[in-house]
Amino acid sequence: MKTALSISLLAISLAGTARAQTSIDIIQIDEGRPLAMAVVQLIERYRYLVTYEDVPPDLETETRTTTYAPNAFHKNEIRSRYSSAHPVTFHVPRPSRMQPGKPDALLAVPSEVAKAARGIVEEYNASGNPGRFAVILDGQYTHIVPAARKLHGKFESFEPVLDTRVTIASTNSGTQCLTVLNDLFDRIYQARALKMVLGMVPIGGLIRHQCQVEGANIKARDVLRSILTQIAPPVPGEDPSYEFAWSAIYDVNSDSYFLSTHLIDLNASVIEQPVAPKNDR
């Protein structure tokens, strides 16, 4: 199984546009899930609150198989399937407020976040890679979600996994957040037969904290956001200090979505990004 959020090649350079004086980061991704990896860059470089939900590939036309010979760790041959991918070059406008040493919370101009998200989605959709994606603006969050997938070689509409409607009963004193999250996974499966499991998540926070979530016929995404908000670590005198972004990556072999989170420190200082060397010739 390919690691969805590992980047084998990430080439970043700086280019200036004469008219708008906007700096562009050029991000080249040549394997894995290019759009998911581009979202990680929006999170890590600019502290943008952008989430990503994956789409199942067409098993007939959009997957590859790798065979692993028997070795000391497994006696039998193992065949692993994964989504195929074509290289994508993304062009991401830098935040207009980006200055080294300044708090990252100052970077997130909503219109610029939306423009960056829509830009990478448009470039991905034109690349011939699995799925077609769209952008949802949701308060301080921007969600990148699938809008269509291929099935037997033909595109059809696809409802994002976290658009699933669920009902969560109220509790007086709260319930362990890990229990609430696993209950959410169960309700998604009951509604749509889509499996979601834990990936890289803050398991300690989920175990230590109590969560109070309730609602009828609400989107699973809103429940997840509520859970993560309740376990995000606060800093005295700074509100908010941390927020969680997340990704839901589909694995072909287990037919499951793996939920992983990204903790964003909104009060950290911006680190200067590399500038492409000038050609003196």
The pLDDT value recorded for residue 8 is: 38
Number of domains present in the structure of the chain = 1
CB 109 within 8 A of CB 97: yes
The pLDDT value recorded for residue 82 is: 67
The pLDDT value recorded for residue 268 is: 67
d(CA 161, CA 147): 11
The pLDDT value recorded for residue 120 is: 98
CB 123 within 8 A of CB 88: yes
Residue of 252, 250, 271, 266 whose CA lies nearest to 35: 250
Distances from the Cα of 173 to the Cαs of 213, 223, 274, 276, in angstroms? 11, 17, 49, 55
Q: What is the pLDDT along the chain (281 residues), one digit of tens a residue?
A: 444 333 333 444 434 333 345 689 899 998 789 999 999 999 988 889 999 999 999 878 777 767 767 776 766 766 677 688 889 999 999 888 776 666 555 667 889 999 999 999 999 999 999 999 999 999 889 999 999 999 988 999 999 999 999 998 876 667 899 999 999 999 999 999 999 999 999 999 999 999 999 899 999 999 999 999 999 877 555 555 789 999 999 999 899 999 999 998 877 665 545 444 444 44
The pLDDT value recorded for residue 101 is: 61
Per the listing, tokens 């708090």 go with 103
Assigned domain for 280 exists: no
The pLDDT value recorded for residue 106 is: 60
The pLDDT value recorded for residue 10 is: 41
Assigned domain for 6 exists: no
The pLDDT value recorded for residue 206 is: 95
Classify 65 as helix, strand or coil: strand
Assigned domain for 281 exists: no
The pLDDT value recorded for residue 105 is: 55
The pLDDT value recorded for residue 104 is: 57
Contacts of 248 (CB under 8 A, 6+ apart): 52, 53, 54, 161, 162, 196, 257, 258, 259
Assigned domain for 114 exists: yes
- Per DSSP, 152 falls in state T
Burial class (CB in 10 A: 0-12, 13-18, 19+), 43: buried
- Per DSSP, 103 falls in state B
The pLDDT value recorded for residue 4 is: 38
Assigned domain for 277 exists: no
d(CA 111, CA 117): 10
**Domain of 54?**
11-265
Backbone torsions φ then ψ of 271, nearest 5 degrees: -100, 135
Amino acid at 193: A
Assigned domain for 271 exists: no
Helices 110-125 and 34-46, packing angle to 10 deg: 160
Assigned domain for 163 exists: yes
